[in-house]
Structure 1
Amino acid sequence: MQNTQHIYDLVGICAQFGVENAVVCPGSRCAPLLIGFGKHPDIETISINDERSAGFVGLGLAQQSGKPVVLACTSGTAALNFAPAVTEAFYQNVPLIVLTADRPPEWIDQWDGQTIHQEKIYEPHLKGSFNYNENNVKIGVEALT
């Protein structure tokens, strides 16, 4: 059984920093994130299949509320579909927290599906980026402060 406590910790950190909405896109890689947000009592989870549309729904929610909104999706090119909304949010100073699943680093450039170079995928249109796992829970707090 996979340990997912760090996922619940990350969801809790998002709630502590004012997240009330998470716009999630279904995928096997990000399933633990979707479950974590879906179970949190203080975060409304909105599931949208199309990542580009989901990005703009999240952007609109953040614009209207003034509070950070989470966007979550699976790995690979799915994450690229958030780029237009991430760019708009950056230039409008709208708070979006983008969480993308990723494949193991050793799978990159091995022609495995949904496996691309994701690190720094949204640069230069972001305020911070990090790789999160069960060994660096504290980095989630640092990234949001």
Structure 2
Amino acid sequence: MILPQITDLVAICAKKGIENAILSPGSRCAPLTLTFARHPEIHSRTISDERSAAFIALGMAQQLDQPVALVCTSGSAALNYFPAVAEAFFQQIPLLILTADRPAEWIDQYDGQTIFQPEVYGKHVKGSFQLPDTASNPDQLWHSSRIVN
């Protein structure tokens, strides 16, 4: 089941001018991957190797002079984006990085590829945000839309 905030996030991306997305599929980001792939206004490409995917997105954003979305699963996958994220930051090339995350209760429990993911890119991004992981009430959906906007 794809949560409404995921559908809203991708719709807002399209409204804000995101026309291209590079997807590095994984189990945690499956809802994001499917929603981007199905959106009629966003051209999505799948590149499983995260490091390569990030540099391809960087090159696209540079050549197209427009932001490109980059989607990956949780944990160390997000770290593989870091070299291109840092390069984009210093060259002022617009990338929108969307990573899935594992539940907070799984952190520090010897679960494979689990990292302290919040603000993983540190000072090398203009902003870092955590979306609510449920939509059990309308306020959570409203909060998620505010963050994305």
TM-score (norm 1): 0.93
1:139 maps to 2:147:
yes
Aligned residues: 140
SS of the residue corresponding to residue 127 of structure 1 reads coil
Q: 4+ residue runs of structure 1 moved beyond 6 angstroms?
A: none
Q: CA deviation at 1:88?
A: 0.5
Q: Root-mean-square deviation (CA), in Å?
A: 0.9
Q: Give SS of 2:123's match.
A: coil
Question: Residue type of the partner of 1:54?
Answer: A
Question: Amino acid of the residue matched to residue 8 of structure 1?
Answer: T
Mark the runs of 5 or more structure 2 residues left unpaired by the alignment. Answer: none
**Long gaps (5+) in structure 1:** none
**1:114 Cα deviation after fit:** 2.6
Q: Which residue of 1 aligns with 2:22?
A: 23
SS of aligned partner of 1:98: strand
Structure 2 residue 68 is the aligned partner of structure 1 residue 101:
no
**3-state DSSP class of the match of 1:97?**
strand
Which amino acid counterpart does residue 139 of structure 1 have in structure 2? I
**Which residue number corresponds to residue 48 of structure 1?**
47
Q: Alignment identity in percent?
A: 56
Cα deviation, residue 66, structure 1:
1.0
**1: CA distance, partners of 2:2 / 2:49:** 28
Structure 1 residues 1-145: aligned runs within 5 Å: 2-133=1-132, 134=135, 135=140, 136-137=143-144, 138-141=146-149
Is the helix fraction higher in 1 or 2?
2
Deviation at 1:3, TM superposition (A): 4.9
Q: 1:55 to 1:8 in 2, by over 3 A?
A: same
Give the 3-state SS of the residue equivalent to 2:77 in structure 1: helix
